[in-house]
Structure 1
Amino acid sequence: MADRVPNPIIPGNPRERTGTAGLMRRAFAEINRRYRGLARDVLAVFDRIPVYAANDDKGTEAPTLVRYGATPQVLDQTMVDLQAALERWINDGRVSGHVAWWSIYQEEAAQLGTAQSAANLGNLSAAYAAARSLETIVFSEPYRLRASIARVRSNEYWTGLTAQARSDLAGVIGRAGRRQEPEGRAH
């Protein structure tokens, strides 16, 4: 009679099989905290642009025209301040021992996934369990290479997100800086 191969270990919660819900909640909370801080800083930067009301007559039903004091110098400083806010909230905030703030979540997810996979494979094959401990897996060259590739891709994603946001903001500020002559005005 052949020995029956046991099934892989399946976490007890059918809605959350990977066991990463807590990790994901913490990561999303950190992303939301950073987004709220970035939004607050961006609004503060735009609030520093001088605003002049062209017609502030409350007695008419005409909409109030607003003019912004967006000189080239103000726009330049606005762009510098926006880029600093992006750097502060997206790229900065390193935690001791980690390259970037998201590295903590990345490392914890990799450890959890590796431990679960090793336990499942060890449960399925006694030979595998005898030949490969979690420590030998984690320190193996193929594992370290894959973990490095994952870290690089994650870093590319976050730095790409920052670069795209910078580009979008530069476009918005550039369009705001274009001077348009009012209709009917002589050149």
Structure 2
Amino acid sequence: MICGTDEAGRGPIAGPVVAAAVILDPQHPIEGITDSKKLSAKKRELLSKEIKQKALYWAIAQCDADEIDRLNILQASLLAMQRAVEALPVQPSKVLVDGNKLPKLSMPAEAVVGGDALEACIGAASILAKVERDRQMQEWHAIYPEYDFAKHKAYPTKMHLEALERYGACPVHRRSFAPVARVIARHTRGE
């Protein structure tokens, strides 16, 4: 009952940070699991479906932009991972966490730097978190198409920063992140 947990969405300037927790079934191994950033969107989608079908247990949780602004992105990431682990219907015997920091958990946990490429359960969590976050950014794109969230997933690309300058911040932008804070300050001053 070893659980892996990871998050997606620390670097974007809008939207939630999403975490997943996964307990894989050793009797049903899944080929191709690795760090979600090393996989194409199509491969992530396929693996996400397979993970949800074959894993013993999985859960997804998040912190929204307001929580990120209130807590800071590191603390929000850890809280999202804590929520994902706590959302599992069973308590794992141990949790492997991607990175070098641990969320507050009631069971033994170990931080594994680069764990999403080293431990299948962490890689599976990274895939579920990334697929869910990308899905949510598609939904936000439908509401705020001017920012083109479907394309850049709210990372601070040139296109996104230009849209931010042109339209100002929308409700899902992270106001504590420097590019967003600068635009808000300029708009507040009437520039």
Shorter-chain TM-score range: under 0.3
Richer in helix (by share)? 1
Q: TM-score, normalised on structure 1?
A: 0.25
- TM-score relative to the length of structure 2: 0.24
Report which of the two has the higher share of strand. 2
